[in-house]
């Protein structure tokens, strides 16, 4: 597995890193609290993780792997799956190489070659759509932070605990009124499953939110020159720009906005906008820019605790996909506890019955997770964020705000 440039290598957790035995040896202290020590004689529970650690999506993919490993360590150090005799989670990772064809073959290989209780992945919607098709045929549950609404159509083994793309759109439109009473919005979007579904949601919902869309322009993901696209934005008279893009495209767009002197508010949505590498690349240009996320590291006290541990290890805050992965792993652990089995069908049924409002499994905006018949969290909604002092602060809606809006 390749390592991203400048990234701290992932280290397997040693007991001395997380555990300090008391005199009696019956209690241990971890970064996440006191827990009883247990033997590990029970057979491990295999869960699969599908992430791109090579190819165009690798930057975020590596961070997802780091978060997934941290989450498994947390579950295991807290006693494992107690209803299965303290069984440890065993994370089996597969590199889907940022490629839909590879995603299909790797998902099939992962399922057929291992006794899996469930799967999580892939973060990029285009890849997760493929992985979920394979998982559905194999009747193995997959839980994901991917946002496309298509994942919730006709699926029975796919679970989405966070906001959907259409919900992101509504939040962005409402946030545009933080900038102007009469928002005139230019929407530019990459022509992928993520970009198309999110931008269509913006277009459909804009009239109902009292927002005028003055430009609706697709572009080819991974483009090298944002000038022509942003000149169209300039000519449109927009006072707000929505860029539905992943990391590299967003970096180029923000830099080009500055270069051509375009005076416009920016809401970068989700995707690459809400990861630490965005700020590392654009620096002070990010200050005051807004976005939406399905998770942020200030959503609750548990999130802040996990963020502190992640930041200690990797030198950056825990971003939305990574934080969501920690929560998802605890959702799987909760399902395994209740299923009292590693049988994929029983685990799927236990996931479908999940209803939590406390603990790491409920570490989501609003603090509640309950899946409806379509596998969607009935309480799921996005949180509006803003770059403030090189960090992401939750600012919208009011119930989820953890910092006041910074005027840019």
161-206 pLDDT, tens per residue?
999 988 988 999 999 999 889 999 999 999 887 788 778 889 999 9
What is the number of alpha carbons within 13 Å of residue 184 lying toward its C-beta?
A: 11
3-class DSSP state for residue 163?
A: coil
Residues 101 and 175 in one domain: no
Q: What is the pLDDT of residue 53?
A: 97
Is the predicted pLDDT of residue 4 greater than 90, yes or no?
A: no
Is the predicted pLDDT of residue 32 greater than 80, yes or no?
A: no
Distance CA 17, CA 24 (A): 19
Which residue in the block uniquely carries the two structure tokens 């494992």?
80
What is the number of other CB atoms lying within 10 angstroms of the CB of residue 153? 10
Task: Report yes or no: 375 and 232 within 8 Å, Cβ to Cβ.
Answer: no
Residues 45 and 157 in one domain: yes
Is the predicted pLDDT of residue 242 greater than 50, yes or no?
A: yes
Q: What is the pLDDT of residue 41?
A: 58
Residue 122 neighbours by CB under 8 Å, 6+ apart: 50, 51, 52, 96, 103, 128, 131, 144, 146
State which residues form the domain around 248.
Answer: 165-293+384-400
Distance CA 202, CA 53 (A): 31
Residues 55 and 123 in one domain: yes
What would you report as the CA-atom Rg of the chain, rounded to the nearest whole angstrom? Answer: 21
Q: What is the pLDDT of residue 200?
A: 86
Distance CA 267, CA 269 (A): 6
Residues 348 and 389 in one domain: no
Q: What is the pLDDT of residue 94?
A: 98
Listed range (142-151, 262-271, 339-348) with the worst mean pLDDT: 262-271
Is the predicted pLDDT of residue 276 greater than 50, yes or no?
A: yes
Distance CA 193, CA 395 (A): 27
Q: What is the pLDDT of residue 33?
A: 45
3-class DSSP state for residue 36?
A: strand
Is the predicted pLDDT of residue 384 greater than 60, yes or no?
A: yes
Mean pLDDT on 114-143? 97
Q: What is the pLDDT of residue 5?
A: 37
Residues 126 and 270 in one domain: no
Residues 132 and 21 in one domain: yes
Is the predicted pLDDT of residue 396 greater than 60, yes or no?
A: yes
Nearest to 251 by CA among 293, 217, 282: 282
**Per-residue confidence at 1, pLDDT binned at 50, 70, 90?**
very low
**Per-residue confidence at 31, pLDDT binned at 50, 70, 90?**
very low
Q: What is the per-residue pLDDT across 45-62, written as a single tens digit (0 to 9) for each? A: 999 999 999 998 898 899
Task: Report yes or no: 296 and 383 within 8 Å, Cβ to Cβ.
Answer: yes
Is the predicted pLDDT of residue 399 greater than 90, yes or no?
A: yes
Is the predicted pLDDT of residue 127 greater than 70, yes or no?
A: yes
Q: What is the per-residue pLDDT across 60-99, written as a single tens digit (0 to 9) for each? A: 899 999 999 999 999 999 999 999 999 999 999 999 999 9
Q: What is the pLDDT of residue 11?
A: 39
Is the predicted pLDDT of residue 315 greater than 90, yes or no?
A: yes
In sign, the C-alpha dihedral spanning 185, 188, 192, 196 is positive
What is the number of alpha carbons within 13 Å of residue 271 lying toward its C-beta?
A: 31
Q: What is the pLDDT of residue 269?
A: 83
> Does residue 225 or residue 180 have the better pLDDT?
225
Q: What is the pLDDT of residue 27?
A: 34
Q: How many domains are contained in the chain?
A: 2
In a domain, 8, yes or no: no
Beta bridge partners of residue 20, listed in sequence order: 29
Residues 111 and 178 in one domain: no
In a domain, 4, yes or no: no
The pair of structure tokens assigned to 354 is 């999940």
In a domain, 396, yes or no: yes
Beta bridge partners of residue 290, listed in sequence order: 267, 386
State the average pLDDT for the chain: 89
The pair of structure tokens assigned to 8 is 């701290």
In a domain, 406, yes or no: no
In a domain, 408, yes or no: no
What is the number of alpha carbons within 13 Å of residue 168 lying toward its C-beta?
A: 30
Residue % of the chain over a pLDDT of 70: 90
Beta bridge partners of residue 393, listed in sequence order: 386
Its pTM stands at: 0.84
What is the number of alpha carbons within 13 Å of residue 257 lying toward its C-beta?
A: 25
Residues 54 and 158 in one domain: yes
Q: What is the per-residue pLDDT across 358-369, written as a single tens digit (0 to 9) for each? A: 999 999 999 999
Q: What is the pLDDT of residue 271?
A: 74
In sign, the C-alpha dihedral spanning 165, 166, 167, 168 is positive
In a domain, 63, yes or no: yes
Is the predicted pLDDT of residue 375 greater than 90, yes or no?
A: yes
DSSP-assigned letter for residue 73: H
Q: Say what the alpha-carbon torsion angle 156, 162, 168, 170 is, to the nearest 10 degrees.
A: 80
**Per-residue confidence at 102, pLDDT binned at 50, 70, 90?**
very high
Check whether the bond before 122 is cis (ω within 30° of 0).
yes
What is the number of other CB atoms lying within 10 angstroms of the CB of residue 389? 8
Residues 245 and 388 in one domain: yes
In a domain, 86, yes or no: yes
Residues 170 and 87 in one domain: no
Task: Report yes or no: 48 and 120 within 8 Å, Cβ to Cβ.
Answer: yes
In a domain, 225, yes or no: yes
Residue 237 neighbours by CB under 8 Å, 6+ apart: 184, 214
Task: Report yes or no: 199 and 189 within 8 Å, Cβ to Cβ.
Answer: yes
First to last CA, the chain: 41
Residues 332 and 262 in one domain: no
Is the predicted pLDDT of residue 8 greater than 90, yes or no?
A: no
Listed range (13-22, 124-133, 140-149, 392-401) with the worst mean pLDDT: 13-22
SS3 string, 273-303, reads HHCHHHHHHHHHHHCCCEEEECCCCCCCHHH
CATH number, residue 109: 3.40.50.2300
Residues 60 and 133 in one domain: yes
């Amino acid at each position: 597995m390749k390592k991203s440039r400048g990234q701290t290598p992932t280290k397997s957790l040693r007991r001395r890193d997380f555990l300090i035995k008391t005199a009696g040896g019956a209690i241990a202290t971890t970064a996440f609290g006191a827990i009883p020590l247990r033997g590990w004689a029970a057979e491990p529970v295999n869960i699969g993780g599908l992430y791109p650690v090579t190819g165009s999506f690798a930057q975020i993919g590596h961070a997802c792997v780091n978060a997934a490993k941290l989450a498994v360590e947390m579950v295991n150090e807290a006693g494992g799956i107690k209803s299965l005799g303290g069984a440890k989670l065993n994370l089996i990772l597969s590199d889907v190489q940022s490629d839909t064809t590879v995603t299909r073959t790797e998902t099939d290989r992962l399922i057929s070659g291992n006794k899996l209780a469930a799967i999580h992945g892939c973060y990029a919607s285009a890849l997760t759509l493929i992985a979920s098709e394979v998982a559905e045929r194999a009747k193995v549950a997959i839980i994901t932070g991917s946002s496309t609404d298509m994942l919730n159509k006709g699926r029975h083994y796919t679970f989405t605990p966070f906001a959907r793309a259409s919900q992101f759109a509504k939040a962005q439109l409402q946030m545009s009124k933080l900038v102007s009473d009469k928002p005139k919005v230019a929407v530019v979007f990459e022509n992928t499953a993520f970009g198309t579904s999110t931008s269509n949601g913006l277009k459909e919902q804009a009239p109902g939110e009292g927002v005028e869309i003055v430009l609706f322009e697709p572009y080819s993901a991974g483009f090298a020159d944002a000038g022509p696209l942003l000149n169209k934005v300039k000519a449109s008279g927009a006072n707000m720009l929505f860029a539905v893009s992943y990391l590299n495209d967003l970096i180029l767009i923000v830099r080009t906005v500055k270069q051509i002197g375009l005076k416009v508010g920016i809401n970068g949505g989700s995707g690459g906008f809400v990861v630490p590498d965005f700020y590392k690349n654009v620096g002070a240009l990010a200050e005051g820019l807004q976005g939406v996320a399905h998770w942020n590291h200030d959503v609750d006290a548990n999130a802040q605790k996990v963020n502190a541990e992640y930041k200690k290890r990797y030198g950056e805050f825990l971003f939305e996909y990574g934080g969501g992965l920690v929560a998802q792993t605890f959702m799987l652990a909760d399902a395994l506890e209740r299923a009292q089995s590693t049988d994929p069908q029983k685990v799927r049924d236990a996931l479908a019955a999940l209803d939590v409002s406390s603990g790491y499994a409920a570490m989501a905006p609003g603090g509640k997770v309950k899946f409806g018949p379509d596998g969607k969290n009935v309480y799921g909604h996005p949180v509006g964020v803003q770059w403030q002092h090189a960090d992401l602060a939750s600012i919208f809606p009011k119930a989820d705000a953890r910092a006041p809006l910074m005027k840019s």
